[in-house]
Chain A
Amino acid sequence: MKERAADFLEFDKERGVYRISSEQAVRDDVEKHHWVHVGRTVMKDWRLYLMLVPMLLVFLFWRYFPMYELLGCFKVSDNVLPVSEQLFSGFSYFKRLLVGGDTASTEFWRAMRNTFILSFYGLCFGFPIPIILALFFNEIRSNAARSVFQVLTYLPKFMSTVVMTSLVTMLVKQGSLTTGMGVLNQGLEALGLISHDVANAGLLNNPAFFRSIYQISGIWETAGYDSIVFFAAIIAVSPTSYEAAQIDGADKWAQMRYVVLPSILSTIVIMLITRIGSLLNIGYEKVLLLYNTNTYVTADVVSTFANRYGMGGSAQTGLAAAAEMMNNVIGMLLVIGANTIAKKASNTSLY
């Protein structure tokens, strides 16, 4: 006995017997009582724990079970064998996508690149515009006028992706022998920005225009709504700060530079970090509704790649899931990284 549990025992010289060491005894006691405590607490508070159950089940079934399904991308997809008997093939799908050299691999790299470019452009153009809008809103002193502007600019946010993409499709549609082209094509041609042939072919059929259409429609849709948070930060600036700056002779630009910007800087930093965290979360629904075979070159992102490969008639679920998993793992690292930076920078955790 002593040999087997030597660490837990010590020799009591006075009584001449081995006893469980006092420290271990306390630890045992705590552990025992702790678990009794757990059981008792849960039983006493069973209503509270019951309230959690529906939510936990929803997340388990429809958020965590898909992660289990994801394990399928490590297996050779052979429908003859049951899943349990399929051989693990290591990282064959990942390898094929990364260095395979076939069509799937080429398209995967193209999709990866497009995902990065689309989200990077979104960051460059989509991020500053709401801030500028909020500065402008602050300039409108009349409440009625500001409400009108706000109501109008928030409005597109509440349109569905389907309605928005349908409108875009109609506005830039191609012309034919019997029908005219979309009204935006006409406008751009009248301004001399595009030639008649390009306008008549339809802008959504031209890979050179896809990214612009995606970004501009995105700004149209969300800029007004995204300005809410910045506007709230700006109106929180105390009027005395402006007065002090005015007495010191600051003109409008100096007030912007030394009063407004420093006050909303923390909001800007937090929103920027959030934005970087969700950099790879491209709205695939929108791409799916706007792209076509002509524009795959610039439009195809990883999610739409996965949609085409994994959910069509000849579904290659393993390949598609592997592609998306790489995208999502990079996305997760970005989120965690961004959150860590946010914590360090401002003591504000986003989650």
Chain B
Amino acid sequence: MKRKLEISELIFKILSYTLLTIFALACLYPFVYAVSSAISGRSAVEYGSVVLLPIDVQFGAFARMFGDNMFWNAYSNTLFVTLYGTLWAMLTAILGAYALSKRRLLFRTGFNFFLVFTMWFSAGIVPQYLNYLATQKVFNAVGIMDDKWLVVIAMGMAAMNIILLRNAFEGVPSEVEEAAIVDGATEMQVLTNVYIPMSKSTIATVALFFAISRWNGYFWARQMISNQNEHPLQVFIRLRLEEFTNPDTMTGWNYPYASDSVIYALIVCSIVPILVIYPFIQKYFAKGTNVGGVKE
């Protein structure tokens, strides 16, 4: 019996390590390949001979990217949308979730249904598009000509995130709140001094959900922002990809690096910030989703 146990355990352990290593390398490979292709020489990239490591190292593609004003413009637009979009979404979500977490709130079920229904049924992209066009008109009429504000204010709210926050707030013991009220705290002070510190982990997670969806947002930004100078990074990358993979526009290409290298350089530049902060936020994701994920 003992032998059988050891053998099966060993087999399973070897299997786990092997398959996980393969899968982890498969997850990593495209990124390594992108970096290698971005800094490889023109002929190596064009003939597809780059497989893992760079060949004929050059930094022309990166230099071209860094010298491109449009690129920096797109980068700052993405930072703008991510920063203000996350702040706006967190402000409305925290205030709303706090009110919804109170048992004394009248019509609580009704308000909850108002949120949850949007998770069940969405009008679809065409009505949303018409609605955003109408919003854009209103925004322009009151003097907000920059479509980035439309993206910041009108888009990206998610009922699921509010429910995660509400569940976390409901987990705060009411005795703590009562103690704060006895000490003379106002509603706003209860929220900022009791509820927010006590649900830091969930708040961090939800803020990261919002921030990442803002950073990665593409479709609506492309539909609604017509001015090239206001395009966020994702739209910029896609437009470059469409331009550079079209053989007609690339006939006169005479640089020491391949046109594909420019795309790879762009991809690398857009994921570097996420890679830099990723180790710090990773633990929150695992923790926060467990805390607020399933409501018993």
Contacts and interface: CB of A to CB of B under 8 A. Distances in A.
A311 B93 CA distance: 31
Given A137-B20, A303-B125, A56 B114 contact: yes
Interface of A: 38, 41-42, 45, 47-49, 51-52, 54-56, 58-59, 61-67, 69-70, 72, 133, 135-137, 139-140, 148-156, 158-163, 166-167, 169-171, 173, 175-176, 178-183, 186, 220, 223-225, 228-229, 232, 246, 249-253, 270, 284-285, 288-289, 303, 306-307, 310-311, 317, 320-321, 324-325, 327-329, 331-332, 335-336, 348-351
A139 B18 CA distance: 12
Contacts of A45: 104
A162 B124 contact: no
Interface stretch (B127-135, B170-178, B196-204): B127-135
A351 B164 CA distance: 10
20 contacts: A51-B99, A58-B157, A62-B128, A136-B16, A140-B17, A152-B27, A154-B285, A158-B212, A170-B34, A183-B51, A225-B285, A228-B290, A249-B5, A284-B125, A311-B223, A321-B124, A321-B127, A348-B296, A350-B295, A351-B116
A332 B51 contact: no
Q: Is the interface of A mostly helix, strand, loop or mixed?
A: helix
Nearest to B235: A162
Given A161-B216, A220-B26, A320-B126, A54 B50 contact: no
A66 B135 CA distance: 11
B23 interface: yes
Contacts of B289: 228-229
A252 B131 contact: no
B277 to A, nearest CB: 10
A289 B106 CA distance: 45
B123 interface: yes
B219 A169 contact: no
A69 B130 CA distance: 7
Contacts of B154: 61-62
A153 B123 contact: no
Interface string B105-133: 11000010011101111111111111110
Contact of A321 (B46, B126, B162, B290): B126
Contact of A335 (B4, B120, B126, B159): B120
Interface in B185-238: 186-188, 212, 215-219, 223, 234-235, 237-238
B274 interface: yes
A150 B24 CA distance: 8
Interface string B1-38: 10011011101110111011101111110110110010
Contact of A173 (B8, B12, B26, B245): B245
Nearest to A168: B30
A113 B11 CA distance: 42
Given A179-B48, A186-B48, A351-B163, 10 more contacts: A52-B105, A55-B157, A58-B157, A62-B131, A149-B20, A155-B31, A163-B271, A220-B26, A310-B129, A331-B121
Contacts of A331: 121
Nearest to A58: B157
B286 interface: yes
A130 B215 CA distance: 26
